[in-house]
Amino acid sequence: MVVPEAVRQLRPPVPARLRRWRWYGHDLYTLALLGIYSILGIAFYPAVEKASAWLLLNAVVAMVIVGLAWADRPGSPRWVRLLHWLYIAPVIYLMYQEVHAYVPAVNPRLYDELLIAWDLALFGTHPTHWLARFAHPLLTEYLQTAYMLFYFLPLIHGAELLWRRRFHDAAELARLMAFGFYVSYLCYFVLPAIGPRFTLHDFRQLDQELPGLWLTPRWRAYINAGGGIPPGAPDPEKHVHRDCMPSGHTMMTLLNLLLAFRFRSRTRWLLAVAGMSLIVATVYLRYHYVVDLLAGALCTLGVLWLEPRLHRLLRRVGWIQDHLDGRLEGRTV
Protein backbone atom coordinates (compact mmCIF):
# COMPACT_ATOMS: atom_id res chain seq x y z
CA MET A 1 0.00 0.00 0.00
CA VAL A 2 1.39 3.40 -0.99
CA VAL A 3 1.17 5.99 1.75
CA PRO A 4 -0.83 9.07 0.60
CA GLU A 5 1.18 12.24 0.15
CA ALA A 6 -0.99 14.03 2.73
CA VAL A 7 0.00 11.42 5.32
CA ARG A 8 3.65 11.70 4.36
CA GLN A 9 3.51 15.44 4.96
CA LEU A 10 2.27 14.87 8.50
CA ARG A 11 5.38 12.95 9.39
CA PRO A 12 7.93 14.91 11.42
CA PRO A 13 11.02 16.02 9.49
CA VAL A 14 14.02 13.80 10.03
CA PRO A 15 17.36 15.52 10.72
CA ALA A 16 19.82 15.20 7.85
CA ARG A 17 22.32 13.34 10.03
CA LEU A 18 19.74 10.55 10.59
CA ARG A 19 18.10 10.51 7.18
CA ARG A 20 20.07 7.53 5.95
CA TRP A 21 19.83 5.64 9.26
CA ARG A 22 16.91 3.59 10.49
CA TRP A 23 16.46 3.61 14.27
CA TYR A 24 13.76 1.51 15.88
CA GLY A 25 12.39 2.04 19.35
CA HIS A 26 13.98 -1.17 20.60
CA ASP A 27 17.37 0.10 19.37
CA LEU A 28 17.21 3.20 21.55
CA TYR A 29 15.75 1.35 24.54
CA THR A 30 18.57 -1.19 24.38
CA LEU A 31 21.23 1.49 24.02
CA ALA A 32 19.74 3.34 27.01
CA LEU A 33 19.85 0.20 29.15
CA LEU A 34 23.41 -0.52 28.04
CA GLY A 35 24.29 3.00 29.14
CA ILE A 36 22.68 2.47 32.56
CA TYR A 37 24.45 -0.86 33.00
CA SER A 38 27.78 0.66 32.01
CA ILE A 39 27.40 3.52 34.48
CA LEU A 40 26.60 1.01 37.24
CA GLY A 41 29.53 -1.15 36.20
CA ILE A 42 31.90 1.80 36.53
CA ALA A 43 30.34 3.24 39.70
CA PHE A 44 30.30 -0.13 41.52
CA TYR A 45 33.30 -1.62 39.76
CA PRO A 46 34.95 -3.31 42.79
CA ALA A 47 31.67 -4.96 43.85
CA VAL A 48 30.50 -6.10 40.39
CA GLU A 49 31.64 -9.58 39.41
CA LYS A 50 33.36 -9.63 35.99
CA ALA A 51 32.76 -5.89 35.60
CA SER A 52 35.40 -5.51 32.87
CA ALA A 53 33.88 -8.30 30.79
CA TRP A 54 30.39 -6.81 31.07
CA LEU A 55 31.63 -3.35 30.09
CA LEU A 56 33.39 -4.77 27.03
CA LEU A 57 30.32 -6.77 26.06
CA ASN A 58 28.14 -3.65 26.36
CA ALA A 59 30.42 -1.82 23.96
CA VAL A 60 30.27 -4.68 21.44
CA VAL A 61 26.47 -4.93 21.58
CA ALA A 62 26.16 -1.15 21.19
CA MET A 63 28.38 -1.23 18.10
CA VAL A 64 26.31 -4.04 16.58
CA ILE A 65 23.12 -2.02 17.09
CA VAL A 66 24.64 1.09 15.56
CA GLY A 67 25.89 -0.99 12.62
CA LEU A 68 22.44 -2.46 12.00
CA ALA A 69 20.82 0.98 12.16
CA TRP A 70 23.32 2.19 9.55
CA ALA A 71 22.95 -0.87 7.29
CA ASP A 72 19.13 -0.96 7.41
CA ARG A 73 18.55 1.85 4.96
CA PRO A 74 16.00 2.15 2.12
CA GLY A 75 16.75 -0.45 -0.50
CA SER A 76 18.81 -2.67 1.81
CA PRO A 77 18.38 -6.46 1.57
CA ARG A 78 15.45 -7.90 3.48
CA TRP A 79 17.72 -10.06 5.61
CA VAL A 80 19.25 -6.88 7.05
CA ARG A 81 15.80 -5.62 8.05
CA LEU A 82 14.98 -9.02 9.53
CA LEU A 83 18.23 -9.12 11.52
CA HIS A 84 17.53 -5.59 12.71
CA TRP A 85 14.31 -6.89 14.26
CA LEU A 86 15.43 -10.32 15.43
CA TYR A 87 18.65 -9.37 17.22
CA ILE A 88 16.49 -8.11 20.08
CA ALA A 89 15.53 -11.65 21.17
CA PRO A 90 19.01 -12.83 22.29
CA VAL A 91 19.92 -9.36 23.55
CA ILE A 92 16.90 -9.28 25.88
CA TYR A 93 18.09 -12.51 27.48
CA LEU A 94 21.65 -11.18 27.66
CA MET A 95 20.41 -8.04 29.42
CA TYR A 96 18.56 -10.28 31.90
CA GLN A 97 21.74 -12.13 32.77
CA GLU A 98 23.72 -8.94 33.10
CA VAL A 99 21.39 -7.14 35.49
CA HIS A 100 22.11 -9.75 38.14
CA ALA A 101 25.73 -8.68 38.23
CA TYR A 102 24.61 -5.27 39.48
CA VAL A 103 21.61 -5.94 41.74
CA PRO A 104 23.63 -7.38 44.69
CA ALA A 105 26.14 -4.54 44.41
CA VAL A 106 23.56 -1.75 44.25
CA ASN A 107 21.00 -3.15 46.72
CA PRO A 108 22.43 -6.10 48.69
CA ARG A 109 19.41 -6.48 50.99
CA LEU A 110 16.75 -9.17 50.39
CA TYR A 111 13.09 -8.22 50.88
CA ASP A 112 11.48 -11.66 51.00
CA GLU A 113 10.20 -11.12 54.54
CA LEU A 114 8.33 -8.01 53.40
CA LEU A 115 6.77 -9.81 50.43
CA ILE A 116 5.77 -12.74 52.67
CA ALA A 117 4.11 -10.32 55.07
CA TRP A 118 2.17 -8.70 52.21
CA ASP A 119 0.95 -12.09 50.99
CA LEU A 120 -0.16 -12.99 54.50
CA ALA A 121 -1.97 -9.69 54.89
CA LEU A 122 -3.85 -10.25 51.62
CA PHE A 123 -4.68 -13.95 51.94
CA GLY A 124 -4.21 -14.90 55.58
CA THR A 125 -1.96 -17.77 54.52
CA HIS A 126 1.02 -18.55 52.32
CA PRO A 127 -0.35 -19.12 48.79
CA THR A 128 2.32 -21.70 47.97
CA HIS A 129 1.33 -23.70 51.07
CA TRP A 130 -2.35 -23.50 50.11
CA LEU A 131 -1.67 -24.62 46.53
CA ALA A 132 0.31 -27.63 47.76
CA ARG A 133 -2.98 -29.46 48.40
CA PHE A 134 -3.58 -29.58 44.64
CA ALA A 135 -0.13 -30.96 43.81
CA HIS A 136 -0.13 -33.87 41.36
CA PRO A 137 2.69 -35.13 39.11
CA LEU A 138 0.62 -34.61 35.96
CA LEU A 139 -0.29 -31.04 36.94
CA THR A 140 3.31 -30.32 37.90
CA GLU A 141 4.54 -31.64 34.56
CA TYR A 142 2.08 -29.45 32.66
CA LEU A 143 2.79 -26.29 34.64
CA GLN A 144 6.55 -26.77 34.62
CA THR A 145 6.40 -27.12 30.84
CA ALA A 146 4.21 -23.99 30.60
CA TYR A 147 6.73 -22.10 32.72
CA MET A 148 9.49 -23.09 30.29
CA LEU A 149 7.59 -21.40 27.44
CA PHE A 150 8.15 -17.91 28.84
CA TYR A 151 10.63 -16.69 26.23
CA PHE A 152 9.06 -18.72 23.44
CA LEU A 153 5.56 -17.23 23.58
CA PRO A 154 6.64 -13.76 22.32
CA LEU A 155 8.75 -15.46 19.64
CA ILE A 156 5.74 -17.46 18.47
CA HIS A 157 3.69 -14.27 18.31
CA GLY A 158 6.41 -12.36 16.47
CA ALA A 159 6.96 -15.20 13.99
CA GLU A 160 3.26 -15.20 13.13
CA LEU A 161 3.24 -11.45 12.52
CA LEU A 162 6.31 -11.65 10.29
CA TRP A 163 4.94 -14.65 8.38
CA ARG A 164 1.73 -12.73 7.70
CA ARG A 165 3.72 -9.60 6.74
CA ARG A 166 2.23 -7.65 9.61
CA PHE A 167 5.40 -5.59 9.79
CA HIS A 168 3.95 -2.61 11.63
CA ASP A 169 2.56 -4.90 14.32
CA ALA A 170 5.81 -6.86 14.51
CA ALA A 171 7.76 -3.65 15.05
CA GLU A 172 5.30 -2.53 17.74
CA LEU A 173 5.54 -5.92 19.45
CA ALA A 174 9.35 -5.79 19.40
CA ARG A 175 9.64 -2.34 20.91
CA LEU A 176 6.93 -2.83 23.56
CA MET A 177 8.34 -6.19 24.64
CA ALA A 178 11.87 -4.78 24.78
CA PHE A 179 10.71 -1.78 26.79
CA GLY A 180 8.72 -4.02 29.14
CA PHE A 181 11.60 -6.43 29.74
CA TYR A 182 13.98 -3.57 30.45
CA VAL A 183 11.55 -1.94 32.89
CA SER A 184 11.23 -5.23 34.75
CA TYR A 185 15.02 -5.56 34.95
CA LEU A 186 15.38 -2.09 36.45
CA CYS A 187 12.60 -2.85 38.96
CA TYR A 188 14.69 -5.71 40.38
CA PHE A 189 16.88 -3.10 42.05
CA VAL A 190 13.99 -1.85 44.20
CA LEU A 191 12.97 -4.99 46.15
CA PRO A 192 15.42 -7.83 45.44
CA ALA A 193 14.04 -11.22 46.50
CA ILE A 194 14.77 -14.90 45.86
CA GLY A 195 11.27 -16.39 46.24
CA PRO A 196 9.31 -18.90 48.31
CA ARG A 197 11.13 -22.01 47.08
CA PHE A 198 14.02 -20.81 49.28
CA THR A 199 12.24 -18.95 52.08
CA LEU A 200 8.98 -20.85 52.72
CA HIS A 201 10.11 -24.26 51.45
CA ASP A 202 13.22 -26.40 51.36
CA PHE A 203 14.72 -25.98 47.91
CA ARG A 204 16.47 -29.35 48.17
CA GLN A 205 13.14 -31.12 48.73
CA LEU A 206 11.37 -29.59 45.74
CA ASP A 207 11.66 -32.69 43.57
CA GLN A 208 10.15 -34.80 46.35
CA GLU A 209 7.38 -32.37 47.31
CA LEU A 210 6.43 -31.41 43.73
CA PRO A 211 7.42 -34.37 41.57
CA GLY A 212 6.61 -34.35 37.89
CA LEU A 213 6.72 -37.09 35.31
CA TRP A 214 9.44 -37.15 32.61
CA LEU A 215 10.37 -33.58 31.70
CA THR A 216 10.05 -31.75 35.02
CA PRO A 217 13.55 -32.55 36.39
CA ARG A 218 15.17 -31.45 33.14
CA TRP A 219 13.10 -28.27 32.90
CA ARG A 220 13.97 -27.41 36.52
CA ALA A 221 17.65 -27.94 35.85
CA TYR A 222 17.50 -25.55 32.88
CA ILE A 223 15.65 -22.93 34.91
CA ASN A 224 18.06 -23.23 37.83
CA ALA A 225 21.04 -22.83 35.52
CA GLY A 226 19.44 -19.83 33.79
CA GLY A 227 18.67 -18.37 37.21
CA GLY A 228 22.30 -18.44 38.27
CA ILE A 229 22.38 -21.65 40.33
CA PRO A 230 25.43 -23.83 39.54
CA PRO A 231 24.69 -27.58 39.34
CA GLY A 232 25.12 -29.21 42.75
CA ALA A 233 25.73 -25.93 44.57
CA PRO A 234 25.58 -26.51 48.37
CA ASP A 235 24.23 -22.98 48.94
CA PRO A 236 21.95 -22.24 45.93
CA GLU A 237 20.22 -19.34 47.70
CA LYS A 238 23.51 -17.39 47.54
CA HIS A 239 23.74 -17.78 43.77
CA VAL A 240 20.16 -17.50 42.55
CA HIS A 241 19.10 -14.32 40.82
CA ARG A 242 17.18 -11.84 42.94
CA ASP A 243 14.43 -11.30 40.40
CA CYS A 244 11.12 -12.12 42.08
CA MET A 245 9.69 -8.62 42.42
CA PRO A 246 7.98 -7.78 40.14
CA SER A 247 7.19 -11.04 38.35
CA GLY A 248 8.63 -10.58 34.87
CA HIS A 249 6.89 -13.80 33.84
CA THR A 250 3.53 -12.27 34.67
CA MET A 251 4.34 -8.83 33.34
CA MET A 252 5.67 -9.88 29.95
CA THR A 253 3.16 -12.69 29.42
CA LEU A 254 0.25 -10.32 30.02
CA LEU A 255 1.81 -7.71 27.74
CA ASN A 256 2.22 -10.27 24.96
CA LEU A 257 -1.37 -11.48 25.41
CA LEU A 258 -2.85 -7.99 25.35
CA LEU A 259 -0.97 -7.20 22.15
CA ALA A 260 -2.04 -10.51 20.59
CA PHE A 261 -5.70 -9.66 21.16
CA ARG A 262 -5.17 -6.06 20.03
CA PHE A 263 -3.64 -7.31 16.78
CA ARG A 264 -6.23 -10.10 16.51
CA SER A 265 -3.37 -12.54 16.00
CA ARG A 266 -4.33 -16.04 14.93
CA THR A 267 -2.30 -17.52 17.78
CA ARG A 268 -3.99 -15.39 20.45
CA TRP A 269 -6.04 -18.20 22.02
CA LEU A 270 -3.08 -20.55 22.06
CA LEU A 271 -1.02 -17.81 23.69
CA ALA A 272 -3.83 -17.14 26.17
CA VAL A 273 -4.05 -20.76 27.37
CA ALA A 274 -0.29 -21.18 27.57
CA GLY A 275 0.19 -17.73 29.12
CA MET A 276 -2.41 -18.09 31.86
CA SER A 277 -1.01 -21.54 32.69
CA LEU A 278 2.42 -19.98 32.94
CA ILE A 279 1.19 -17.32 35.36
CA VAL A 280 -0.44 -19.94 37.62
CA ALA A 281 2.80 -21.94 37.47
CA THR A 282 4.84 -19.07 38.93
CA VAL A 283 3.14 -19.58 42.31
CA TYR A 284 2.33 -23.30 42.12
CA LEU A 285 6.00 -24.08 41.37
CA ARG A 286 7.09 -21.72 44.20
CA TYR A 287 9.05 -19.27 42.10
CA HIS A 288 6.98 -16.22 43.12
CA TYR A 289 4.81 -14.70 45.80
CA VAL A 290 1.36 -13.56 44.69
CA VAL A 291 2.26 -9.91 45.36
CA ASP A 292 4.97 -10.32 42.71
CA LEU A 293 2.26 -11.20 40.20
CA LEU A 294 0.13 -8.21 41.21
CA ALA A 295 3.13 -5.90 40.84
CA GLY A 296 3.88 -7.42 37.43
CA ALA A 297 0.30 -6.79 36.27
CA LEU A 298 0.53 -3.15 37.38
CA CYS A 299 3.83 -2.77 35.54
CA THR A 300 2.16 -4.11 32.39
CA LEU A 301 -0.42 -1.32 32.55
CA GLY A 302 2.35 1.19 33.18
CA VAL A 303 4.29 0.03 30.11
CA LEU A 304 1.18 0.19 27.91
CA TRP A 305 0.59 3.78 29.06
CA LEU A 306 4.18 5.06 29.00
CA GLU A 307 5.89 3.45 26.02
CA PRO A 308 3.58 4.72 23.23
CA ARG A 309 3.94 8.26 24.57
CA LEU A 310 7.70 7.94 24.74
CA HIS A 311 7.79 6.47 21.22
CA ARG A 312 5.76 9.36 19.82
CA LEU A 313 8.07 11.83 21.53
CA LEU A 314 11.18 10.18 20.10
CA ARG A 315 9.69 10.24 16.62
CA ARG A 316 8.63 13.84 16.99
CA VAL A 317 12.15 15.00 17.85
CA GLY A 318 13.61 12.88 15.05
CA TRP A 319 15.51 10.33 17.17
CA ILE A 320 13.59 7.40 15.67
CA GLN A 321 13.43 6.82 11.91
CA ASP A 322 11.31 3.69 11.87
CA HIS A 323 9.09 4.31 8.84
CA LEU A 324 8.92 1.24 6.61
CA ASP A 325 9.68 1.68 2.94
CA GLY A 326 6.94 1.11 0.39
CA ARG A 327 7.35 -2.60 -0.19
CA LEU A 328 6.86 -3.27 3.53
CA GLU A 329 4.27 -0.65 4.42
CA GLY A 330 1.04 -2.61 4.17
CA ARG A 331 -0.72 -4.85 6.67
CA THR A 332 -1.78 -8.34 5.67
CA VAL A 333 -4.73 -9.65 7.66
Return the pLDDT at 319: 82
Return the pLDDT at 296: 97
Return the pLDDT at 322: 63
In a domain, 333, yes or no: no
Residue among 127, 276, 307, 302 at smallest CA distance from 201: 127
Residue 243 has pLDDT above 80, yes or no: yes
The parent domain of residue 311 ranges over: 7-328
Number of domains making up the chain: 1
Quick check: 173 and 158 in contact, CB under 8 A? yes
Return the pLDDT at 1: 40
Q: How confident is the model at residue 20 (pLDDT cuts 50, 70, 90)?
A: low
Mean pLDDT calculated for residue range 21-41: 94
Return the pLDDT at 323: 55
Residue 74 has pLDDT above 80, yes or no: no
- The model's pLDDT over 78-95, given as tens digits with 9 standing for 90+, comes to 888 889 888 999 999 999
- The model's pLDDT over 311-332, given as tens digits with 9 standing for 90+, comes to 999 988 888 776 554 334 444 4
In a domain, 195, yes or no: yes
Mean pLDDT calculated for residue range 169-174: 90
In a domain, 83, yes or no: yes
pTM recorded for the entire structure? 0.88
In a domain, 2, yes or no: no
Mean pLDDT calculated for residue range 216-225: 93
Q: How confident is the model at residue 171 (pLDDT cuts 50, 70, 90)?
A: confident
In a domain, 323, yes or no: yes
Residue 106 has pLDDT above 50, yes or no: yes
Mean pLDDT calculated for residue range 29-44: 97
Quick check: 217 and 207 in contact, CB under 8 A? yes
Instruction: Please state, as a whole number, how many other Cβ atoms lie within 10 Å of the Cβ of residue 188.
Output: 23
Average pLDDT, the chain: 89
Mean pLDDT calculated for residue range 233-261: 94
DSSP letters for 6-38:
HHHHHSPPPPGGGTT----HHHHHHHHHHHHHH
Residue 178 has pLDDT above 90, yes or no: yes
The residue type at 270 = L
Angle at 163 between CA 160 and CA 164, to 5 degrees: 85
In a domain, 163, yes or no: yes
DSSP letters for 139-204:
HHHHHHHHHHTTTHHHHHHHHHHHHTT-HHHHHHHHHHHHHHHHHHHHHTTTS----HHHHTS-GG
In a domain, 160, yes or no: yes
In a domain, 229, yes or no: yes
